[in-house]
Amino acid sequence: MLKKNIVLIGFMGCGKTTFGRKLAKRYKCEFIDTDKFIEAEQGMSVQDIFEKKGEPYFRELEKELCKKISEKNGYVIATGGGIIKNDENMECLGKNGVIVYLKASPEHIFRNIGHDSSRPLLQGKNKMKKIRQLMAERIPTYEKNADVTINTAGQTVNRITNRMYERLKKYNMKKICVIHGPNLNFTGIRERGIYGTKTLDDINKYIIEEGNRLGFEIEVFQSNYEGAIIDRLQKCYYDKVDGIVINPGAFTHYSYAIRDAIASVQIPTVEVHLSNIHQRDEFRHKSVTAPACIGQLCGFGEYGYIMAINAIKNRAKIR
């Protein structure tokens, strides 16, 4: 599932519709072609709108549509060639979208649309010259706005779509924040018989790799301070993180402040402990933080973090 919109920009004829359809199929989401959308709404072709109502009228319709799109999520959008000329449009589209610039040479464009008489800005003779001129004007704007640039030359549509899909993965992954509490930076040094021999860096590397494999972007954080952990939890709220995995260390057993922070952010949170806290000292049997979480896992070493990520993944599916 797409978390953001994918917004394709690029010169007319660069393949925004073709690639957009393919990508939407891949993401199993809806595809919007802004020109086609406006044509359907107005009941006439773009060319007719240009002729009968003028270009400024059409640009106004584009502006309105960009505003509407900025309130939606999870669409692949092919933009009409002129949308990028307006900074406000690009700001709207970039707010909840990844902007993908499909780069193509003038020759490539001419091959694709040289024969097409329905393009209002390419009427008359010497199309190649017009393409070059218009492209030179627009390229700086495409480049300025692009989060990702994809070269569309020389490969099959399927291969380019695959490349795009791979490049876009990181922008559209759901995010999980893994928080380690006090003394966990000493893992691998402290009480190895209980917490194992791996360092926290080793464990984090493992969590990031496995987390990515499960389709999540993973952020890791460690602090020995209660306040810093609370600040990090609150940041998760503002960053719209999709899940939290937390090992609050000894704070588990007495920090009502961390318990309240977990409850405040309203993000699915799983509590993890490397050791089985129920087999250990009496004071470790109680967790004041677990009731604010969707569940607790303990006694599985670092694998517990992966189980927690899986738990968040499956919970998201059920919801």
- Of 64-72, 105-113, 130-138, 243-251, the window that binds ligand DQA (rule: CB under 6 A) is 243-251
Nearer to ligand DQA, 243 or 249 (CB): 249
CB 274 within 8 A of CB 187: yes
CB 246 within 8 A of CB 179: yes
- Supply the angle between the helices 46-53 and 34-42 in degrees, to the nearest 10: 60
Q: Taking CA 76 as the corner, what is the angle to CA 311 and CA 123, rounded to the nearest 5 degrees?
A: 170
Q: Strands, E, within 223-287: which ranges? A: 243-247, 269-273
CB 176 within 8 A of CB 211: yes
Nearer to ligand DQA, 4 or 198 (CB): 198
Alpha carbon distance 7, 97 (integer Å) = 6
Nearer to ligand DQA, 121 or 250 (CB): 250
- Of 110-118, 162-170, 228-236, 247-255, the window that binds ligand DQA (rule: CB under 6 A) is 247-255
Catalytic residue among 180, 273, 278, 303: 273
Smallest separation, CB 183 to ligand DQA (Å):
5
Give the binding-site size for ligand DQA (rule: CB under 6 A).
10
| Residue among 247, 255, 269, 289 that touches ligand DQA (CB under 6 A) | 247
Catalytic residue among 195, 285, 303, 305: 195
Q: Is 284 in the site for ligand DQA (CB under 6 A)?
A: yes
Nearer to ligand DQA, 1 or 250 (CB): 250
Q: Coil, strand, or helix at residue 141?
A: helix
| Residue among 245, 277, 290, 312 that touches ligand DQA (CB under 6 A) | 277
Known catalytic membership, residue 273: yes
Smallest separation, CB 232 to ligand DQA (Å):
16
- Of 14-22, 54-62, 163-171, 274-282, the window that binds ligand DQA (rule: CB under 6 A) is 274-282
Q: Is 40 in the site for ligand DQA (CB under 6 A)?
A: no
Alpha carbon distance 165, 26 (integer Å) = 8
Structure tokens at 58: 């059409």
Smallest separation, CB 11 to ligand DQA (Å):
55
The secondary structure element, H or E, covering residue 151 is: strand 148-151
Q: Is 1 in the site for ligand DQA (CB under 6 A)?
A: no
Looking at residue 227, its amino acid is G
Q: Is 274 in the site for ligand DQA (CB under 6 A)?
A: yes
Contacts of 87 (CB under 8 A, 6+ apart): none
Q: Is 109 in the site for ligand DQA (CB under 6 A)?
A: no
Nearer to ligand DQA, 57 or 283 (CB): 283
Task: Please report how many Cα atoms fall inside a 13 Å half-sphere around the Cα of residue 291, on the Cβ side.
Answer: 9
Alpha carbon distance 217, 213 (integer Å) = 9
| Residue among 183, 185, 212, 296 that touches ligand DQA (CB under 6 A) | 183
Smallest separation, CB 79 to ligand DQA (Å):
49
Nearer to ligand DQA, 134 or 203 (CB): 203
Alpha carbon distance 256, 265 (integer Å) = 15
Smallest separation, CB 203 to ligand DQA (Å):
10
Buried/exposed 36-63: b ≥16 CB within 10 Å, e otherwise:
ebbbeebeeebeebbeeeeeeebeebbe
Structure tokens at 246: 């937390």
Residues identified as active-site: 195, 273
Residues that bind ligand DQA (CB under 6 A): 183, 247, 249-250, 252, 273-275, 277, 284
